[in-house]
Structure 1
Amino acid sequence: MNELVFEINSNEEIWELFDKDLNSIFIHKFVPNEVIQWWKTDLKTQSGTEFKNLSVRQMEMDVQTDLSGLKKILKLNTNQLRIYQFEKPISDTLEIDRLPEKNRNQVLKQNGLKHFFFVDFEFITIGSFELDFISGIERNPKFEKRIAERKQRLTE
């Protein structure tokens, strides 16, 4: 797994980093509202039970979406995101938290993972099984100076 870490100014600016040929997006432990407060929402369960006008807080969920949905999520400018880009939707039985740490990347790769993007406040960590993908990001005019500065600070 090839990785790259650098500073970002907002989640919206990282949109161009995603592989537009891969339309299966998985966001692990997505929190749609980071402020701990109550808000109103409707909820429909898989069995068809509907709850109208619920008050909820601290909701956390795994989300499967496409690039269009990802673009909307990035506009929320959430402080922490765990975004995985797959070749295909992940199966119902794949749970990242239950995978052993030592072979997690290999299992995810076997399930079609190509790249991941971990946003932690002002930093992004990008991982990919494809070195060319990482090299392309390093050459991106918007980010290449930030990447070079970060690498230099780490070697000093």
Structure 2
Amino acid sequence: MNELTFEINSNEEIWDLLDKDFNAIFIHKFVPNEAIEWWKTDFKTQNGTEFKNLSVRQMEMDVQTDLNGLKRIIELNTRQLRIYQFEKSISNTLEIERLPEKNRNQILKENGLKHFFFVNFELITIRSFESEFIKGIEQNPKFVKRITKRK
């Protein structure tokens, strides 16, 4: 897998890095509200049970969405995101943390993974099975100086 790490100035720059040809997005361990404080929300379970006006904190979830949904999530300015870009939706049984580390990449590739983006505050790490995708980012005038600086 090809890898690249460099600084980003804002979450809006993430959008410029995404491969718009792949619309199946999986966000692993998404935290919609980073502050360790209580906040109000409604919640509905799979079987239809609804909870209104719950107080929650430190809510973490896996999210499947499309590029439009990801754009809205990026606008939240979350400081940590684990974005997996697949060629198709992932199966219900695929749990990343349960995959053996030694062949995790191969299993993800077999399930259609194309690119992985890890946003960690001001840094982004991009991993891709496609070397041309990484080369395209390395040659992007918006990011080239920052990439050179990290190397």
Q: TM-score range by the shorter chain?
A: over 0.9
Is 1:15 the counterpart of 2:15 in the alignment?
Answer: yes
Q: 2: distance between equivalents of 1:119 and 1:100?
A: 23
TM-score, length-normalised on structure 2?
0.99
- Mapping of residues 40-51 of structure 1, within 5 Å: 40-51=40-51
Which residue is 1:137 aligned to?
Answer: 137
How many residues end up aligned between the 2 structures?
151
Q: 2: distance between equivalents of 1:36 and 1:100?
A: 31
Which residue is 2:85 aligned to?
Answer: 85
Stretches of structure 1 that go unaligned for 5 or more consecutive residues are: 152-156
Is 1:34 the counterpart of 2:34 in the alignment?
Answer: yes
1:11 to partner: Cα distance: 1.0
Q: RMSD value over aligned CA atoms?
A: 0.6
Residue 111 of structure 2 aligns with an amino acid whose one-letter code is: N
Stretches of structure 2 that go unaligned for 5 or more consecutive residues are: none
CA deviations over 1:87-134 (Å, ceiling 9, x no partner): 000010000000000000000000000000000111000000000000
Identity %: 81
Q: 2: distance between equivalents of 1:72 and 1:141?
A: 25
TM-score, length-normalised on structure 1?
0.95
Which residue is 2:25 aligned to?
Answer: 25
Residue 48 of structure 2 aligns with an amino acid whose one-letter code is: G
Q: 1: distance between equivalents of 2:13 and 2:86?
A: 21
1:10 to partner: Cα distance: 1.1
3-state secondary structure, aligned to 2:72? helix
Which residue is 1:154 aligned to?
Answer: none
Q: 1: distance between equivalents of 2:70 and 2:14?
A: 11
Residue 107 of structure 2 aligns with an amino acid whose one-letter code is: V
Q: 2: distance between equivalents of 1:115 and 1:76?
A: 21
